[in-house]
Amino acid sequence: MNAGAMVEVVLPGKVEPEGLQIRQGEVPSPAPGQVVVRMEATGVSFAEQQMRRGRYYDQPPFPFVPGYDLVGTVSATGDGVPAGLAGTRVAALLKVGGWASHVVVDAADVVPVPDGVGAAEAETVVINGITAWQMLHRKARVRAGQTVLVHGANGGVGSVLVQLARAAGAHVIGTASARHHDALRAQGVTPVDYRTEDIPARVRELAPGGVDAVFDHVGGRSIIDSWHLLASGGTLVSYGSASTRDDEGSKQWPVLKLLGRVWLWNTLPNGRHAYFFNVWAGRALSRDRFRARLRADLTEVFEALRRGEITARIAAELPLTQAAEAMRLAESGTVAGKVVLHA
């Protein structure tokens, strides 16, 4: 493999993981206001799993390079970018394009990674951390002493959510399969087995007055149960539709149905609130405000990681050229934490 070449993984269409293609090309040059980031770590998130099935709500047309986020070192800067940024380790939220050895990013979109935080560690909390932080603190505004329900408490976002919620002083109920319960209890979480227990009945036993917030990535029937488990004044934050991942048909319909329910619930006079969380919300209206919020919140997440309030959960690290194996592993349901790719 040519050491001076860029290597990227291409998703050519609706394919099995083995259908991912490895492509080489020239290392890109930055335009004014841009930087080239030499990727050190990128990850396999739920978004890529949906994209390869053509199920992600606003994915680009095939073919494209997936990769929702990355961490790496700035290797080149364009005109108008402070030269001191070169050599700095940064993180970037991209949506697509991260599965490449070198990625061009607007300089305004990179967030410095603190000293003492490794690339793979930081990668585990970019999209997962920013999602968890904004849902917890900007949407639900969870406070000490409140009780929250986190679905998929062992998942990528869920595992960060429970740790941030505990750091905020909240009581946490988390759904997960039984093999993860001991680890959740060790974090101060009350586990509920989503495979064998009646989740609504068990949560009502644990919180007879309802919970103050529910974080639901499942969608479908789960979202209705989640709404009914809220206490007066409580907040439901829906951030996905995992239950429809393998469905056929329109990829927009599950999201539109969720949005319809959220709108309807928010018209009810019971003091409860529902949100469908989208990390990209507001970007089209005010890019500067979006960037400032992202930078502030991701910096908070990195500091929580550095302080040990949240831990990096790396399931496996594989080279970029083994993206197919990484995708299989991430989709297997047998690993805890994030599957990370490195250049």
Express each pLDDT in 4-13 by its tens digit.
799 999 999 9
pLDDT over threshold 60, residue 2: no
User: Residue range 271-279: average pLDDT?
Assistant: 93
With beta carbons less than 8 A apart as the criterion, state whether 148 and 189 touch. no
User: Residue range 211-233: average pLDDT?
Assistant: 93
User: Residue range 40-50: average pLDDT?
Assistant: 94
pLDDT at 253: 65
User: Residue range 178-193: average pLDDT?
Assistant: 96
pLDDT at 1: 43
pLDDT at 244: 45
* pLDDT over 90 percentage in the chain: 83
With beta carbons less than 8 A apart as the criterion, state whether 164 and 131 touch. no
User: Residue range 142-150: average pLDDT?
Assistant: 98
User: Residue range 144-157: average pLDDT?
Assistant: 94
Q: What angle do CA 341, 91, 54 make, to 5 degrees?
A: 55
| 192: β partners | 175
Domain chopping of the chain, boundaries: 5-113+313-342, 128-276
pLDDT at 221: 84
0.95 exceeded by the pTM? no
With beta carbons less than 8 A apart as the criterion, state whether 176 and 149 touch. no
User: Residue range 56-77: average pLDDT?
Assistant: 96
Q: What angle do CA 41, 46, 50 make, to 5 degrees?
A: 120
User: Residue range 57-68: average pLDDT?
Assistant: 95
**Alpha-carbon distance 98 to 91, whole Å?**
11
The pair phi, psi for residue 23, each rounded to 5°, is -130, 140
pLDDT at 3: 53
User: Residue range 302-318: average pLDDT?
Assistant: 95
Tell me the per-residue pLDDT of 102-131, one tens digit each, with 9 for 90 and over. 999 999 999 999 999 999 999 999 999 999
CATH of 5-113+313-342, one of 3.90.180.10, 3.20.20.220, 3.30.300.30, 3.50.50.60: 3.90.180.10
What architecture is domain 128-276? 3-Layer(aba) Sandwich (3.40)
Tell me the per-residue pLDDT of 226-271, one tens digit each, with 9 for 90 and over. 999 999 999 999 997 664 444 555 656 667 777 788 888 988 888 8
pLDDT at 289: 96
- Whole-number average pLDDT of the chain: 93
181: closest CA among 171, 173, 196, 191? 191
pLDDT at 72: 98
The pair phi, psi for residue 223, each rounded to 5°, is -65, -35
